[in-house]
Amino acid sequence: MTVYGSVLGLIGNTPLVEISELSPNPAVRLLVKLEGHNPGGSVKDRIALAMIEEAEKEGRVEPGQTLIEPSSGNTGIGLALVSRVRGYRLKVVLATNVSIERRQLLELRGAEIIESPGAEGSNGAVRRARALAAEHPDWAFLYQYANQANPNAHYNGTGPEIWRDCPTVTHFVAGLGTSGTLLGVGHYLKDQNPEVKVLAVEPPAGEIVDGLRNLDDGYIPPIFVENGGADLLDGKRIVRPRESIEWTRRLADVGIFAGISTGAALAGAIRTAASIESGTIVVVSADGGWKYLSTGAWTDDLDVVVERAKQITYF
């Protein structure tokens, strides 16, 4: 065993686990990459470290400085971890409807939470953070939606790890949030084998879109545009809370305790598996199930859990 210089050394090199017993097609292998094994508990540790290190390299930040970021949880938690270890102060703009575990995980690492209305979702949090950053020019705004270090962390880390562990991969499926994972891993895998298909899964937009006053309030992450996301993706599909929770439970049946967005990504992979002749599908599990225990996702009546899931951010 290695002795790590700090907990940040544990970021990345997550395990890839075969779950082909869940595949509806015996000629399709299913593998899941468990990003919940990162020390902050999610895939976002990778970009938190990459964004801070890149900003340090460019001389945009130095320890002691205040960072601000809009986050539905995991990026904030990752940034809080890296900030604690590296000596930054962190403010996270958070929609009010995230699970209580996410809030506690931020607070225990010293992050300050600034609330934005839940109904405005991520769009509202992004707007608020942008306004605050403009008011406080001394704060550093890393902004995962527009930070090239986000997809780069996956191009340089997650993608090569998948290729190293499974060069026979034919399809890659992940959730679409900032689009960083899909862009970084997608480009890396297609650079190795242009035949690899890259598929995005997203939650229903829900009530957030009800808060939009006009279509031009819509938002496409700048990194998605700058990295040719629309040309990179081979498919994008909405997966609804019921199907997401059903597949989250099926994962628990094979011993994998993953967050609800993993169930959504797996649901997308299952549909793909059923529609192709043969192949190997790699699915990203963005986080473990710990932060979702309060939703009763594994234990309560499915209808009740589906209603609860609609009230929280799980992507």
Active centre residues (catalytic): 44, 261
Is 241 a residue that touches other proteins (CB under 8 A)? yes
User: Which residue in this structure is represented by tokens 């930070």?
Assistant: 147
Shortest distance, position 209 Cβ to other proteins, whole Å: 5
19 vs 123, beta carbon nearer other proteins: 123
Residue placing its CB nearer to other proteins in the complex, 61 or 126: 126
Residue 309 touches other proteins, criterion: CB under 8 A:
yes
Crossing angle of the two packed helices 100-107 and 74-86, in degrees rounded to 10: 10
Please identify which residue in the block is written with the tokens 């191009």. Answer: 155
51 lies in the site for other proteins, by CB under 8 A = no
Minimum CB–partner distance for residue 62 and other proteins (Å)? 28
By CB under 8 A, residue 247 contacts other proteins: no
Q: What number of chain residues touch other proteins (CB under 8 A)?
A: 52
Site for other proteins in 77-96 (CB under 8 A): 95
The CB-of-75 to other proteins minimum distance in angstroms stands at: 9
For other proteins, give the closer residue by CB, 160 or 206.
206
CA distance 169 to 30: 10
Q: Is residue 237 near other proteins by the rule CB under 8 A?
A: yes
Residues from 249 through 308 that contact other proteins (CB under 8 A)? none
61 vs 306, beta carbon nearer other proteins:
306
Pick the binder of other proteins from 27, 108, 205, 274 (CB under 8 A).
205
Are β-strands 279-285 and 171-175 bridged in parallel, bridged antiparallel, or unpaired?
parallel
Which of 108, 131, 134, 230 contacts other proteins by CB under 8 A? 230
Q: How far is the CB of 123 from other proteins (least distance, A)?
A: 5
Among 72, 83, 116, 272, binds other proteins (CB under 8 A): 72
With CA atoms as reference, report the closest residue to 236 among 196, 260, 265, 216. Answer: 265
207 touching other proteins, by CB under 8 A: yes
Cα–Cα dist 170/24, whole Å? 16
118 binds other proteins (CB under 8 A): yes
**Binding letters toward other proteins, positions 163-202, x by CB under 8 A:** ------------xxxxx----------------------x
Enumerate binding residues for other proteins (CB under 8 A).
71-72, 95, 97, 118, 121-123, 126, 145, 175-179, 202-210, 212-221, 230, 233-241, 244, 309-315
